[in-house]
Amino acid sequence: MSADHKQFGDAAQMAAAVRQGEASARELLTTSLARIEATDARVNAFTSQTQDRAFAEADAVDARRSALLKKGESLAALGALAGVPYAVKNLYDIVGEVTLAGSVINRSHPPAEADAFLVKQMKAAGAVLVGALNMDEYAYGFTTENTHYGPCHNPHDLACLSGGSSGGSGAAVAAGQVPLSLGSDTNGSIRVPASLCGVWGLKPTFGRLSRRGTYPFVHSIDHLGPMANSVAGLALAYDALQGPDAHDPGCHAQRVQPVAGALQRSSAGMKGLRIGVLNGYFDDNASAAAREVVALAASTLGTKASVQWPDAGLARAAAFIITASEGGSLHLDDLRTQLASFEPLSVDRFVAGALQPADWYLRAQRFRRIYRDRIHALFVDWDVLITAATPVSAPLIGTEWLDINGTQQPCRAAMGLLTQPISFAGCPVVTAPMWPSGTKGMPLGVQIIAAPWREDLAFAVARQLSDAGVAQVKPAAC
Amino acid sequence: MNEALTLQYVKTTAEMLMLPLEDAQAARVAVHLQRTAAMVSLLDSAGLSAHDELAEIYCPAPFPAADPTLGSTGFNA
């Protein structure tokens, strides 16, 4: 671990340091930029930096602190993330910047006229935006092997995948470049890179956070969420991001339900929680390393209960069909006119999706409704369910096929095997970074799943795993 | 649907949608579509009835927080 990385701390510690005058926002920013400068030529997490804006935001935090002190007012007004550097997947609008969404086609788009809703929320909390992050083109992938901007490398082993599609968001946190990042998750795009890079990630309830001002992929499944180097930082970011938004038709939350305060006070929220381990489909598609981290989490949480998640295979199929159909339809105009400019690794899937019969899509959407009822019934008996986030730890970049328990699976699709059924139900999931044996030091995350709108329960369990020391972010050698 | 029929479907529908596919790409797309077709057949086991409606993809208005005020007659005109 470098000295800079050691000093970095997590978002909660950094914001506290700024409030208490132990560090200025400008100093934290300078540390972050130095770390990016020292590592990103190898990691390739960033596609652009917003240094002028970042210094302006950091200086504004420092100036506000001075003004509050002068007036004798509370420094709480600085915001929960005062001076904390962060970065966003490059599908988030940043005012004055072109929103690439991992593509070259979008380079011809005009710069964004306003920040995305969630970027505004982060700014209001005092966070400092340092740049935009690498991703799979239009979020259609689990590996961030972006042909246009280069693959994002795993900070724990540069030869390995970072995961995707929010690969830059996972790698930037794992590399110690920023303590927080924002990503998106349609079928696993926060949870897969969180698992492979060894960082904390949150895919909230579908409809919890506004998606306004981000480039869409699949309207009926898209989620946004944070990634962080601590569970406390993840909770602070999640609270800052919350807020009803009547202008996003998919934002169903009508009020803020913060978690960070309760999480800081105690772990009493764990008492009496009914926690189970997913079996069947989830066990069948988990490698020995994935089973090992789930078993460790289960023993730490004191549970031996084995639980069947209903229709996991069908849910993955339905999510796959809806994703292809909505994604293909969304990009049909560009597929007609700029086919050769698309990402070679995903263009054929976009085209195939555009050609799918309506019956396939409608059948999948009808299934989603009865699936939701079955998931609601499951959570009558359980509070939190756990399973691995990825079948394996990070494969080498360029891997085409994976052997999962004797079955050959296409690597780029198989990374989402364990995440797709959960996001299709819309349940909130915290991904906890864990470190199995036999993976040459590479991480593999565990999904902590709760019923819709019960992020608080997933966070309570996440804190338990963090306090026990079995889930943690480790420094990367990059 | 076999490979040849899938490829024929891809070429025909691509033309209908004005998608300019070369033969090699049409063949790759057909492979993807066959993979998806296999997933669709999985959904056949879901046992959907005629009454199983779509999950919501459109919301005409927010659900009211409280019942609207009733008219003086006790019912809305």
Residue B65: pLDDT band (50, 70, 90) is low
Residue B41 CA to residue B5 CA, distance in Å, equals 17
Phi/psi at A21 (5° precision): 80, 15
A317-329 residue pLDDT tens? 999 999 999 999 9
The confidence score (pLDDT) of residue B54 equals 78
Instruction: Assess whether pLDDT exceeds 70 at residue B63.
Output: no
Name the B residues in 27-56 with CB < 8 Å from any A CB: 28-33, 36, 39-40, 42-43, 45-46, 48, 52-55
φ/ψ (deg, to 5) at A419: -100, -35
pLDDT of the residue at A6: 43
**CA pair distance A382, A332, nearest whole angstrom:** 42
pLDDT class for B66, splitting at 50, 70, 90?
low
Per-residue pLDDT at B2 exceeds 80: yes
Residue A74 confidence (pLDDT): 95
Domain regions of chain A by residue span: 10-467
Rounded-to-integer distance, Cα A154 and Cα A197, Å: 6
Most A CBs within 10 A among B12, B23, B29, B31, hence the mutation to make, goes to B29
Q: Which pLDDT belongs to residue A268?
A: 55
Q: Which residue of A has its CA nearest to B49?
A: A366
- Establish whether this prediction's ipTM goes over 0.95: no
Say if strands A275-278 and A384-388 run parallel, antiparallel, or are unpaired. parallel
Question: Residue A278 and residue A272: Cα distance in Å, rounded?
Answer: 19
Domain A10-467, CATH number (from 3.90.1300.10, 1.10.357.140, 3.30.1280.10, 3.30.420.40): 3.90.1300.10
Take residue A9 and report the two structure tokens written for it: 């701390």
Is the pLDDT at B72 greater than 50, yes or no? no
Block residue for tokens 């988990």: A286
Start-to-end C-alpha separation, chain A? 9
- Contact state of B17 with A321 under an 8 Å Cβ cutoff: no
Residue-wise pLDDT for B7-46, tens only, equals 999 999 999 999 999 999 999 999 999 999 999 889 888 8
Contact criterion met (CB below 8 Å) for A32 and A23: no
Q: Is there a contact between B17 and A313 if contact means CB atoms under 8 Å apart?
A: no
At residue A1, the pLDDT reads 36
Domain ranges of chain B: 3-40
A355:B33 CB<8 A: yes
Q: Which residues of A touch B48 (CB under 8 A)?
A: 363, 366-367, 370
Out of A219, A318, A324, name the one closest to residue B43 (CB).
A318
Instruction: Tell me the C-alpha distance between A187 and A316, whole Å.
Output: 9
Closest CA to B35 of A336, A139, A348, A415: A348
Q: Which of B25, B46, B57 sits opposite A220 (nearest CB)?
A: B57
Write down the pLDDT at residue B62: 47
Ranges of chain A whose pLDDT falls below 50 = 1-6
Q: Residues of B with CB below 8 A from A315's CB?
A: none
Size of interface A-B (CB pairs under 8 A): 99
